[in-house]
Structure 1
Amino acid sequence: MSLPRITRLPPVRLLSSIYHHHCQQLLLPSITPLTVPRRTVVQNEYRRPGQPKEDKWPWQKMNFGLSKGLEGIKKHFTLMKKEFSDTWVGPEGKPVLEHMLEQNRVVCEFRNPEDLEQWTVSSDREIGGQSEVYLKLGKYNTCFLYGTLCSAPPKDGETRYSGYCTMRSKQQLSSLDRKKHYDWTSFNTLHLRVRGDGRPWMISIGTETYFSHQKDDLYCYFLYTRGGPYWQDVKIPFSKFFLTHRGRIQDDQHPLWLDKVNTVGFTLGDKADGPFQLEIDYIGVCKDYAHTEEFAYELYKRNPEV
């Protein structure tokens, strides 16, 4: 008895795949499939629309002069000597008992022109705007920030909003250009002594980040100046600061990281065109024992418990 012969059938193809294949060959032979670009995790620096891209190698932007090299060696050896001597005294060069009992600390003062060199100013002129901002030493050894705000967007066909002026502290560096952070874990309040013209400002605090796409993250809160000739003492708890990324408030909020603070900044963008001024006497931090709030905003659980 012989077994029946088994014939192998051709593979079954769906009608939709056959139709799509023939349409691609007959109707659209020259059109390639569309590729959707994925969003990059690392965001590049802003470049004004229409501005040509600068094609230079990193070493082409460096200055290899002998005089600058000698100044750098002298600077780094001085900083290294100070770091070595401070460790024998105590944290940040202070005695241990003084560091433990410290309740107020002045972070920034403006008593000479060298103190202003630790700050940078910028405006929407970097993107083609018309705002102007200047920084100088005040009459009574204060920081005097002034200029003119203009909210007219540049005529490049792409930028829709404009009108901001910013003053921000530079990143503190230790020897060999290592980052130096402020440690404010012993304090819970930011203390400012300012004199403004009645405009609302935005205070921003930048902290150290662990990922490259977080380099534009800032913790912000509002500063309302009352104007007039009198000074204003402002105390803002760190629990009030909320997380932003390039000016946009983030959904995932968390408290300010006080152990690695890098920069402090002031931004004006109230869309009220005209002159402005802000005078700052000092920037400090303090410990307010009456304030017990840990964080002022709601925290969301990514995986809530069932």
Structure 2
Amino acid sequence: MSLPKLARIPSARLLTSILPHQLLQPPPHPSHQHKFPFQPVNFSFSKGIEGIKKHFTLLKKEFSERLVGPEGKPLLEHLLEQNLVIWEFRGPESLEQWTVSSDQEIGGQSEALLKLGRNDNTCFLYGALRSTPPRDGETRYSGYCSMRSKKLLASFDRKKHHDWSTFNTLHLRVRGDGRPWMINIATETYFSHQKDDIYTYFLYTRGGPYWQDVKIPFSKFFLSHRGRIQDDQHPIWLDKVNTIGFTLGDKADGPFQLEIDFVGVSKDYAHTEEFAYEMYERNPKN
């Protein structure tokens, strides 16, 4: 069932009343369409010059920041900093830092869309969840929608990580519809088979018109692999954070919405817990 047909369902009145004309994404621009390997590639000398200028500008910024301090701040300010906003949604360019996906990638029927909220001061994630699995004879479960931040890139497309080692708490300001969401944090891994390892914790939204200020200690996040909680648990590597994401998969078919004001980190000196879960030693000495 496509998303516009949801207007016939009483539970979808919330979405249709707020977003009557934005239930469909605009068609992709012709320049963004996928090209096959056998199709000719248009080389542009001017675009190449622009790319070189961009990367050398980033390289210059990296050197200047290291001379001043981490992220261009004085070292003392960096050490004493207690609150830091990582993502805030204050314009169309802020949405370019995120990607939206759903089970349509595996043949499902869920849909997820992303846009700016009222007055262009928030991020609005909305759509419809459908848990009907695709008829491919292999997939048994379906029904998820997610929003994930893009990986940071330094000059010449080198890897760059978020360094949250001086903080111990994730700070969010959200407004949901009462559904439970999964917050997923992905960090750098040593081996390729660990690329699907993520740290997860649950965000329970209240619903209604009021905002929620949510603070989740990083010690509460547990390690999972493709949705399965791992026996071998260990704390997050906060100096090697790649992405953060929000996933809905509560198997409750129907419309959903989540509005986010900002995503940040903070330092709570009253929280002294290092890790909330039991860790096993594989080869105990005694």
Q: TM-score, normalised by structure 1?
A: 0.79
- Of residues 95, 99, 113 in structure 2, which corresponds to 1:120? 99
Letter in structure 2 aligned against 1:281: D
Mapping for residues 228-239 of structure 1, pairs under 5 Å? 228-239=208-219
Mapping for residues 215-294 of structure 1, pairs under 5 Å? 215-294=195-274
Q: Over alpha carbons, which structure has the higher Rg?
A: 1
Distance 1:262 1:224 in 2: 24
Cα shift readout 1:139-172 (whole Å, capped 9, x = no counterpart)? 1311110000000000111110000001000000
Q: Which one is further off, 249-258 or 75-84?
A: 75-84
Instruction: Show the counterpart of 1:68.
Output: 47
Distance 2:264 2:256 in 1: 24
Distance 2:156 2:224 in 1: 31
Q: Which one is further off, 181-190 or 77-86?
A: 77-86
CA displacement at 1:123 relative to structure 2: 0.2
Cα shift readout 1:164-193 (whole Å, capped 9, x = no counterpart)? 001000000010111111111111000000
Q: Is residue 166 of structure 2 the alignment partner of residue 186 of structure 1? A: yes
Q: Which ranges in structure 1 are unaligned for 5 or more consecutive residues?
A: 1-55
| SS of residue in 2 equivalent to 1:157 | coil
CA displacement at 1:59 relative to structure 2: 11
Instruction: Show the counterpart of 1:78.
Output: 57
Instruction: Show the counterpart of 1:52.
Output: none
| SS of residue in 2 equivalent to 1:259 | helix
Q: Which one is further off, 62-71 or 253-262?
A: 62-71
Q: Which ranges in structure 2 are unaligned for 5 or more consecutive residues?
A: 1-34
Letter in structure 2 aligned against 1:103: Q
- Of residues 123, 133, 136 in structure 1, which corresponds to 2:112? 133
Quickly say closer, same or farther: Cα 1:71–1:246, change in 2 above 3 A. Answer: farther
Quickly say closer, same or farther: Cα 1:57–1:150, change in 2 above 3 A. Answer: closer
Quickly say closer, same or farther: Cα 1:288–1:63, change in 2 above 3 A. Answer: farther
Distance 1:75 1:210 in 2: 30
Distance 1:292 1:267 in 2: 28
Instruction: Show the counterpart of 1:108.
Output: 87
Higher helix share: 2
| SS of residue in 2 equivalent to 1:233 | strand
Instruction: Show the counterpart of 2:194.
Output: 214
| SS of residue in 1 equivalent to 2:152 | coil
Q: Is residue 111 of structure 2 the alignment partner of residue 163 of structure 1? A: no
Instruction: Show the counterpart of 1:29.
Output: none
- Of residues 113, 127, 131 in structure 2, which corresponds to 1:147? 127
CA displacement at 1:69 relative to structure 2: 2.0
How many pairs were matched up? Answer: 251
Letter in structure 2 aligned against 1:127: I
CA displacement at 1:58 relative to structure 2: 8.7
CA displacement at 1:87 relative to structure 2: 1.7
Quickly say closer, same or farther: Cα 1:63–1:282, change in 2 above 3 A. Answer: farther
Letter in structure 2 aligned against 1:87: R
CA displacement at 1:70 relative to structure 2: 2.4
Cα shift readout 1:214-255 (whole Å, capped 9, x = no counterpart)? 111100000000001000000000000011111111111101
Instruction: Show the counterpart of 1:297.
Output: 277
Quickly say closer, same or farther: Cα 1:135–1:250, change in 2 above 3 A. Answer: same
CA displacement at 1:57 relative to structure 2: 11
Q: TM-score, normalised by structure 2?
A: 0.84
Percent of residue pairs bearing the same amino acid type: 80
